[in-house]
Amino acid sequence: MSHIKIKLHENQLQFIKDTCKEFNYEPGELINILHKLQDKFGYLPSEVQEVVANELKIPTAKVFGVVTFYSYFTMVPKGKYPINICLGTACYVRGAEKILDEFKKQLNIKVGESTPDSKFSLNCLRCVGACGLAPVVMIGEKTYGRVAPDDVKKILSEYQND
Amino acid sequence: MGTYKYHILVCGGTGCKSSQSTQIVQNLNEEIKANNLENFVKVVTTGCFGFCERGPIVKVLPDNSFYNYVKPEDATEIINEHIIKGRRVERLLFRDPVTNKPVTDSKHINFYQKQLRIVLRNCGVIDPENIEEYIARDGYLALYKCLNELTPTEVIDIIKRSGLRGRGGAGFPTGVKWEIAAASPGPEKYVVCNADEGDPGAFMDRSVLEGDPHSVLEAMAICGYAIGASHGLIYIRAEYPMAIKRLKIAIKQAEEYGLLGKNIFGTDFSFDIELRYGAGAFVCGEETALIHSMEGNRGEPTVKPPYPAVSGYKGKPTNVNNVETFANISPIIIKGPEWFASIGTEKSKGTKVFALAGKINNVGLIEVPMGITLREIIYEIGGGIKNDKKFKAIQTGGPSGGCLTEKHLDTPIEYETLVAAGSMMGSGGMIVMDEDDCMVSVAKFYLDFTVEESCGKCAPCRIGNKRLSEILDKITKGNGTMEDIELLKNLCMVIKDTALCGLGQTSPNPVQSTLENFWDEYVEHIVDKKCRANKCKDLIHYYIDPENCTGCMACARKCPVNAIAGERKQVHVINQDLCTKCGTCLETCKFNAVYII
Ligand SMILES: Cc1cc2nc3c(=O)[nH]c(=O)nc-3n(C[C@H](O)[C@H](O)[C@H](O)COP(=O)(O)O)c2cc1C
């Protein structure tokens, strides 16, 4: 399923099992379970999906189908500082594409990729609802509003010493 | 609001929080403590004031002073001057953009004057994390009245007579919907609140949930009583962490006060509410897809009928309403259906909340009576177009809607008139565009969105929208032909007629509406290979005007691809083969020497 092969540690395995138990092994709670696991692991590699499928006694294909349907779920790890560029309409008409281009250029990665040192990953999202601040960029939990292409370098430099 | 002399209300909506309103609250509280004013003034974090453009916003009661663009370091001055000495901090007051005079009372701010707040009655007024403040403003009184004085049929009758229609998009009469759900047999029914708000550029529902969560909880319980359901579910997008947090707090408090749970107000009516999370899929806003998603499946829509009111969540009768629809319920019960029906127009009653965004001076959340004109919204409430540019279009209804132009400025806003104008009410996003926006690119923007969000279940939507987007792409690159326009028109009709759900049935609207209103722009792209807004990179070229160029080298230094050649004090030239048309030179030049053709 995924090109990344990982081995789950015993405590990670236990966390997945405990989570499934917490939701009563109810297949209807699959999305809630996946939310909790992604919060914990940062992403949902196929190994995690297999364990969930086993615990809930549903086909792995069903879990995979749900994970790939929803854009919130990801099968590749995000960077230490995930960068999200809002491409909602309000940000679009206020120049969000230029901001995105500038991030791509500065980091030399494409949308959906991470920098080789796993420090930054770059993604787009649709409307965080802070349209008054458009164009908006989120890095982790922090929101940057009214961003201009010239600001990008400065924003990235805030994370330089980490 | 207690015995304090002053209340300082600080906006805690997502927009203002993003610009440090939390720090403002903290600093205010520290200053209050340092001056021993704890019994004299109280700081309240409220929901959104709506005037996001001016955030962070701080309002002082009882005198209604409205401070805008407040910074954390301003806390000291607000406490020292306003609270201690009783003098307003003039430099922070909102200034009228026309007269440039400070406005002392927020009631006199243009942005608010034409608004009528029913749905947003408590937003920016109460602390959403404190149920007592909601109760103090008649909260849960409507539920009490329903359970003790009205039969379920009477409740439905009141909602029907009010003329309230669904605010989630299609405008189906809410009372009729409740009636159908009530008539569906079965001991187990569900009330679902649609808080998926997928329209990019819309934040009405989020602001209601963040600013007044109890208004939705109370209405869901009323709906449960009316249709005979004892379980409620709120489907909310995971991208709204603050709304989720406030809802959780509100549900817990309501349970503690016995306003949710078993035997509410000592009656035999019981009702509980659970949260279900979306995971980033626009189509999950469609009610059948939403129900499948709540059941833990892929959020793919299914054919209606059966409607959810007959067979919904777990196959049981389910009533799905939008957040804003619910927020109207309690006032209707308390003030009566006649009061509500007296607001608005013949067929569209009450108010509508819009998220006003884009190229407009006063970006924010507004609530206006139905029947208001776009002109009033843009020029009176919205304060006109940013940077005095020329108005071009306003997009309503998001990816399912269309563009309204100059000629629609005086059309009253109602469900029917918007559809007749080639758009739709949608959930309430309003994006204002000016002369710098290319309408072909805007159509492409929405189609790209639809292509990404199409669930892929039916071919017309999966393949058809992709083709639309490809043709639009071709036109914006200067490779389109007039036959392509015919193809676009045909495809639009076929997709609308054959798609499975509302997503595909409306996705061609942005194309049809721009073709209808901006035909000339399409032709210019195709025949003249020109983009009048200078947005389509393949159709524009940057040049340096030898007359104006001083040879300062600023553009050459900034050009990311070294496409600009020229010595100091000599005219510079752009190498068209290397130029990526990023526009940096144009932004850099101080002598107006860079131009586009
Ligand atoms: C593609 C698509 C997306 C939708 N998204 C939403 C949404 O985000 N929020 C919403 O309330 N309704 C949305 N709807 C409308 C719902 O299907 C449904 O009509 C609505 O929730 C009913 O509530 P109301 O009668 O109170 O408007 C969407 C419909 C379609 C076809």
Least confident residue range of A61-65, B93-97, B217-221: B93-97
Q: How confident is the model at residue B17 (pLDDT cuts 50, 70, 90)?
A: confident
Please name which of B419, B528, B393, B377 lies closest in space to residue B169, comparing C-alpha atoms.
B419
Measure the CA angle with vertex B419, ends B414 and B420; round to 5°: 100
Cβ-defined contact of A93 to B437 (cutoff 8 Å): yes
Most confident of A2-11, A45-54, B419-428: A45-54
Q: How confident is the model at residue B2 (pLDDT cuts 50, 70, 90)?
A: low
pLDDT digits (tens, 9 = 90+) for B424-481: 998 899 999 999 999 999 999 999 999 999 999 999 999 999 999 999 999 999 999 9
B512-537 burial, b at 16+ Cβ within 10 Å, e below that, comes to bbbbebbeebbebbbeeebbbbbbbb
| Separation CA B52–CA B361 (nearest Å) | 11
User: Is pLDDT at A4 greater than 60 in this prediction?
Assistant: no
How far is the centre of ligand 1, averaged over its atoms, from the C-alpha of B302 (Å)?
Answer: 14
CATH annotation of B541-596: 3.30.70.20
Ligand 1 pocket, B499 CB below 6 A? no
Q: Long-range contacts made by residues B489-493, C-beta under 8 angstroms, separation at least 24? A: B489/B515, B491/B464, B491/B467, B492/B468
The top-level CATH class assigned to B439-528 is: mainly alpha
Indicate the top mutation candidate among B236, B286, B293 to test ligand 1's pocket, ranked by most ligand atoms within 8 A of CB: B286
User: Is pLDDT at B134 greater than 60 in this prediction?
Assistant: yes
The topology (CATH level 3) of B6-108 is: Glutaredoxin (3.40.30)
How far is the centre of ligand 1, averaged over its atoms, from the C-alpha of B283 (Å)?
Answer: 9
The answer, yes or no, to whether the previous bond of A77 is cis (omega within 30 of 0) is no
Ligand 1 pocket, B503 CB below 6 A? yes
Cβ-defined contact of A89 to B201 (cutoff 8 Å): yes
How far is the centre of ligand 1, averaged over its atoms, from the C-alpha of B453 (Å)?
Answer: 15
Nearest CA to ligand 1 atom 10: B168
Cβ within 8 Å of residue A27, ≥6 positions away: A56, A57, A58, B296
Mean per-residue pLDDT of chain B: 94
Averaged pLDDT, B565-585: 90
The topology (CATH level 3) of B351-434 is: Ubiquitin-like (UB roll) (3.10.20)
Taking phi first (over 0 means left), then psi (-120 to 50 degrees means alpha), and beta for anything else, what does residue B228 get? left
Cβ-defined contact of B280 to A72 (cutoff 8 Å): yes
How far is the centre of ligand 1, averaged over its atoms, from the C-alpha of B288 (Å)?
Answer: 10
Taking phi first (over 0 means left), then psi (-120 to 50 degrees means alpha), and beta for anything else, what does residue B53 get? alpha
Averaged pLDDT, A97-117: 92
Atom of ligand 1 nearest to the CA of B323: 11
Sheet holding A142-144, edge to edge: A120-125, A81-86, A137-139, A142-144
How far is the centre of ligand 1, averaged over its atoms, from the C-alpha of B197 (Å)?
Answer: 8
Per-residue DSSP letters for B327-356?
HTHHHHHHH-HHHHHTSB-SSSBSEEEEEE
Residues from chain A contacting residue B437 (CB–CB below 8 Å):
93
Atom of ligand 1 nearest to the CA of B197: 8
**Tokens describing residue B389:** 């540019």
> pLDDT value at position A2?
44
User: Is pLDDT at B590 greater than 80 in this prediction?
Assistant: yes
Residue type present at position B173: P
| Separation CA B569–CA B498 (nearest Å) | 64
Ligand 1 pocket, B328 CB below 6 A? no
Cβ-defined contact of A69 to B299 (cutoff 8 Å): yes
* pTM attached to this predicted model: 0.93
Is the CATH number 2.60.40.420 carried by domain A81-157?
A: no
Atom of ligand 1 nearest to the CA of B167: 27
Sheet holding B65-67, edge to edge: B41-46, B6-11, B58-61, B65-67
Nearest CA to ligand 1 atom 1: B503
Residues from chain A contacting residue B279 (CB–CB below 8 Å):
31, 34-35, 70-73
CATH code 3.40.30.10 region(s) in chain A: 81-157
Cβ within 8 Å of residue B91, ≥6 positions away: none
DSSP structure class, residue B487: H
Q: Which residues of A touch B (CB under 8 A)?
A: 26-32, 34-35, 65-66, 69-73, 87-90, 92-94, 98, 101, 105, 125-134, 136, 143, 145, 149
Averaged pLDDT, A53-77: 94
Indicate the top mutation candidate among B167, B204, B287 to test ligand 1's pocket, ranked by most ligand atoms within 8 A of CB: B287
Cross-chain CB nearest to B295 (options A28, A73, A134): A28
> ipTM of this model?
0.88
DSSP structure class, residue B153: H
User: Is pLDDT at B222 greater than 50 in this prediction?
Assistant: yes
Nearest CA to ligand 1 atom 22: B321
| Separation CA A29–CA A64 (nearest Å) | 15
How far is the centre of ligand 1, averaged over its atoms, from the C-alpha of B364 (Å)?
Answer: 22
Residue type present at position A98: K
User: Is pLDDT at B509 greater than 90 in this prediction?
Assistant: yes
For B12-63, list the strands marked E by DSSP: 41-46, 58-61
> pLDDT value at position B1?
47
Atom of ligand 1 nearest to the CA of B282: 3
Cβ-defined contact of A93 to B433 (cutoff 8 Å): yes
Domain layout of chain B by residue ranges: 6-108, 131-339, 351-434, 439-528, 541-596
CA distance B359 to chain A (A): 7
| Separation CA B64–CA B86 (nearest Å) | 13
Residues linked to residue B403 through DSSP beta bridges, in sequence order: B395
> pLDDT value at position B167?
96
pLDDT digits (tens, 9 = 90+) for B67-92: 999 999 999 999 999 999 999 999 99
Ligand 1 pocket, B285 CB below 6 A? yes
| Separation CA B45–CA B123 (nearest Å) | 11
The topology (CATH level 3) of B131-339 is: Rossmann fold (3.40.50)
CB atoms within 10 A of CB B560: 12
H helix or E strand, kind and range, residue B543: strand B542-544
